[in-house]
Amino acid sequence: MPQTLMGESNRRFLVKWFDSFVWLEYSKEKDAAFCFHCYLFKCDFDKQGKAGSDVFIEKGFKNWRKGPENFRDHVGQVGSLHNKATQHCTDLMNQKQHVETIVIKQTDQARVNYRILLIAALDCTRYLLRQGFPFRGHDESETSTNRGNYVELLKFLADHDEKVHAVVFENAPRNLKYIAPNIQKELVNSCATETIDAIISDMGDAFFSILVDESHDVSIREQMAVVFRYVNKKGQVIERFVGVQYVFDTTSSKLKEAIEQLISSTNLSMSRLRGQGEYPQAYYVHCFAHQLRLALVAVAKGNENIATFFTTASSVVNIIGASCKRRDALREQQQKDIMKALEIDDLEMGRGLNQETTLKRPCDTRWNSHYDTLLSIKTMFHPVVKVLEWIVDDVNQDNLGEANRLLKEIQTFDFVFHLYLMRFILGITNDLSKALQKKYQDIVNAMMLVQRCKQKPQSVMDDDFDDLLGQVSMFCSKNDIDVSNMDDLFVPQGRSRRKAQKITNHHYYRVDLFLTIIDKQLVELNNCFTESSTEFSSLNGITDLTEKLVNTGRNRIYNYMYLLLTLTLVLPVTTASVERAFSTMNIVKTPLRNKMGNQWLSDGLVVYIEKDVFSCISNANIMQRFHDMKPRRQQL
């Protein structure tokens, strides 16, 4: 029996009538049918003196037995009032026939002028985004001498292009100047959205992994950065930054929710996720760079003498870098040493050598940066001593006591030995640290580097200690530092001599320091890079292999092998790409821009970091995206 709405058994409105007559509306309260189209545009009936003459507009139709027949009569022939009303409804739903558009009655010239204005605004947006510059100014009023980068750049374009000058600012329609803050944000969002769409399009239906890390920005807001890692259609490993999200809680559950929200906004399927996550198909890989840092920190802080050495080295960098005068004095003394070495022909020449430099400050989040710090102290040791002496001799200088203590500590055989020893230890891991910072590093190559890094400490022999001791002795002699006799008894500083173990200097420096530190380094590397995390170490050269398979078309023939290779390649190695995003965030969100909104910040970072993708996106696509956001007063 046909489905009915209500009414007596012999007079019922059938639901199936809705399928044949889309304009039909049924009022349950009045038990009557109406024409929605004619009701909306009944003014047309009024003009022809027929208002209320059609029962589908005022009283409602109730003759259910003759329903379809009367419905067709109401529709009438081509040109009927009903068909005209239906056309009006169609035009209303069409953006280009929108009421506002019809009222504007735009001319062809107005459309051309609008495109010139929009392209000029987009060019300004592109430039500022690529450079990471701020858009807004402190005072953007017409009387201001600096209205902000966006407005000032638009003025510059107008001054150098007559066509732009004719359509911007006072020459533009009053409500269509396109300099308002919300317009700037919408243009930026259009650029960022098109950039992300291009990245997603490049991914296709490939498997991907995510690299996630969190850090606070300049306004002390916790931000989570997300990077997608995938193998593109050419067989190349790609890592792309897709945005930052503000997270008020950094628990795993909250981060998981934020990740799922971001991935769903890109229309990606979580079933394609590999590499990291809480999903059955995911394979978690701890950041290799972080594991290396843990190993180095364990060595540096696990031995009291090494820990004391790094404290002293950091104090030297801090006290000399505390003022511009001390830095200038360091550079001046360095130039004097270079000129003196040139006079006696005792200067090593070569590209990159003998350049003006300063002491490099270490970073605890990148522990191998201490390697560069030690190199700079070694290279500039004599200028450092001279600056510390200058601080001690000048009673008006701050930190006089600290400078005097450091001057005594660094001019000892013990300090120099630690300097050369830690330079040797950190030098072993330096190549690995640099390799792990590469953007597209794959897990197989990373594991090969880890294995080589492990092999170096194992191959250390007595000859290495003798070479190290010889370098230390030569450095001490050059800088007038007393060289300890290796056959004398070792005298520990700050300890009771009666309770001290009776060992020679040679035993202390070789066994207690050199061999002990190297052995501890090897143990920590083995602990951080366990066998379970190195199961891919037997593979070799998979990145080149995948590209070769794609270039020759054999990825379609050996599709399962290619799938296995791509799954291996998407496994992340380090979070270096994410950490670079945080470094970039300090460029985009500065102390003067510390009130940037979350979306504004994320959009700016996406375009700034993925410049190569953004550069390939046409203005036409961005402008269309901009217009699809909401109805505009002018049409493209």
391, 397 contact by CB (below 8 A): yes
* CA distance linking residue 53 with residue 460, whole number of Å: 105
Query: What pLDDT, in 10s, does the model give residues 332-367?
Result: 888 888 787 776 665 555 545 555 567 777 766 666
For 581-608, what is each residue's pLDDT tens digit? Answer: 777 888 887 777 777 888 888 899 999 9
DSSP states of 541-557 as a string?
-HHHHHHHHHHHTTTTT
Is residue 551 predicted with pLDDT exceeding 50?
Answer: yes
Query: What pLDDT is stored for residue 96 in this prediction?
Result: 59
For residue 459 the two structure tokens come to 């191959």
Note whether 240 and 199 are within 8 A (CB).
Answer: yes
Residue 544 lies in a domain: no
Asked if 117 and 236 sit in the same domain, the reply is yes
Q: Has residue 150 been placed in a domain?
A: yes
The 10s digit of each residue's pLDDT in 373-407 is: 888 889 889 999 999 998 888 877 778 888 899 99
CA distance 209 to 201: 16
Q: Is residue 565 part of a domain?
A: no
Query: In sequence order, what are the residues at sequence separation of 6 or more whose Cβ sits closer than 8 angstroms to the Cβ of residue 187?
Result: 121, 122, 125, 622, 626
Residue 376 and residue 407 share a domain: yes
Which amino acid belongs to residue 105?
A: K
Report the range of poorest mean pLDDT among 45-59, 129-143, 478-492.
45-59
Q: Quick one: pLDDT at residue 549?
A: 74
In a domain, 554, yes or no: no
**pLDDT confidence tier of residue 263, bands split at 50, 70 and 90:** confident
**Highest averaged pLDDT of the listed ranges 357-371, 410-424, 431-445, 501-515:** 410-424
Residues 467 and 410 reside in one and the same domain: yes
Please state whether beta strands 237-246 and 32-35 pair in parallel, antiparallel, or not at all (unpaired): unpaired
Q: Contact 123/168 with Cβ under 8 angstroms?
A: no
Give the lowest-confidence range in 290-299, 335-344, 493-502.
493-502
Per-residue pLDDT at 441 exceeds 70? no
For residues 153-159, average pLDDT: 93
* Chain mean pLDDT for the chain: 79
Calpha distance 377→366 (Å, rounded): 18
CB atoms within 10 A of CB 447: 20
CA distance 577 to 597: 23
Among 159, 136, 111, 454, residue whose Cα is nearest residue 295: 454
Model pLDDT, residue 347: 54
Q: Look at residue 579 and tell me whether its pLDDT is greater than 50.
A: yes
- Spell out the residues 6+ positions from residue 494 whose beta carbon is closer than 8 angstroms to its own: none
**Same domain, yes or no: 271 and 300:** no
Specify the DSSP class assigned to residue 568.
Answer: H
Residue 549, in any domain of the structure = no
Q: What is the pLDDT of residue 41?
A: 76
Higher pLDDT, 92 or 356: 92
**Per-residue pLDDT tens over the stretch 442-451:** 666 777 777 7
Domain co-membership, 138 together with 229:
yes
Confidence of residue 3 (pLDDT cuts 50, 70, 90): low
Q: Is the pLDDT of residue 559 over 90?
A: no
4 belongs to a structural domain = no
Is the pLDDT confidence value at 538 over 50? no
Instruction: Report in angstroms the alpha-carbon separations of 515 from 225, 297, 421, 473, 508.
Output: 41, 18, 10, 19, 10
Residue 252, pLDDT score: 73
3-state SS record for 361-421: CCECCECCHHHHHHHHHHHCHHHHHHHHHHHHHCCCCCCHHHHHHHHHHHCCHHHHHHHHH
Secondary structure (DSSP) of 424-461? HHHHHHHHHHHHHTSTT--HHHHHHHHHHHHHHHHT--
Residues 323 and 389 both lie in one domain:
yes
Q: Of 93, 127, 151, which residue is a domain's last? A: 93
Q: Which letter, b or e, does each residue of 530-550 get, where b requires 16 or more Cβ atoms within 10 Å of its Cβ? A: eeebbebbebeebbebbbebb
- In this prediction, residue 10 carries a pLDDT of 43
- Give the lowest-confidence range in 137-141, 286-290, 568-572: 286-290
pLDDT over threshold 90, residue 266: no
CA distance 273 to 270: 5
Q: Which residues contact 492 (CB under 8 A, 6 or more apart)?
A: 500
Model pLDDT, residue 305: 84
> Any alpha helices (H) in 108-218, and if so which ranges?
108-131, 149-160, 162-165, 181-203
Confidence of residue 11 (pLDDT cuts 50, 70, 90): low
Q: Residues 403, 473: one domain?
A: yes
Number of domains in the chain: 3
Question: Is 583 part of a structural domain of the chain?
Answer: no
| The pLDDT value given to residue 475 | 92
User: How many H-runs (helices) and E-runs (strands) does the chain carry?
Assistant: 28, 5
Reported as a pLDDT band with limits 50, 70 and 90, residue 4 is low
- Token couple for 228: 């997608």
Q: Which residues contact 520 (CB under 8 A, 6 or more apart)?
A: 298, 299, 302, 303
Whether 47 has a pLDDT exceeding 60, the answer reads: no
Residues 297 and 254 in one domain: no
pLDDT of residue 557: 72
Looking at residue 443, its pLDDT comes to: 64
The answer to whether residues 358 and 246 belong to one domain is no
Whole-number pLDDT of residue 12:
72
In a domain, 10, yes or no: no
Which residue range(s) make up the domain with 87? 17-93
| Residue 209 sits in the same domain as residue 76 | no
- Specify the pTM: 0.58
The whole-number pLDDT of residue 360 equals 76
Q: Are strands 32-35 and 24-27 parallel, antiparallel or unpaired?
A: antiparallel
With both helix axes pointing from N to C terminus, report the angle between 598-609 and 108-131 in degrees, rounded to the nearest 10: 80
CA distance linking residue 207 with residue 140, whole number of Å: 47
525 has a pLDDT exceeding 50: yes
Q: Could you tell me the pLDDT band of residue 481, with boundaries at 50, 70 and 90? A: very high
Q: What is the mean pLDDT of residues 62-84?
A: 80
Q: Does 133 share its domain with 217? A: yes
Q: Are residues 324 and 379 in the same domain?
A: yes
Contact 136, 148 (CB under 8 A): yes
Single residue among 35, 62, 93 that ends a domain in this structure: 93
Q: For residues 127 and 116, give the distance between their C-alpha atoms in angstroms, rounded to a whole number.
A: 17
* Residue ending a domain, choose from 495, 518, 533: 533
Task: Mean pLDDT check: name the lowest of 70-84, 191-205, 224-238, 316-330.
Answer: 70-84
The whole-angstrom separation of Cα 352 and Cα 379 is 13
Both tokens of 55, joined, read 């029962």
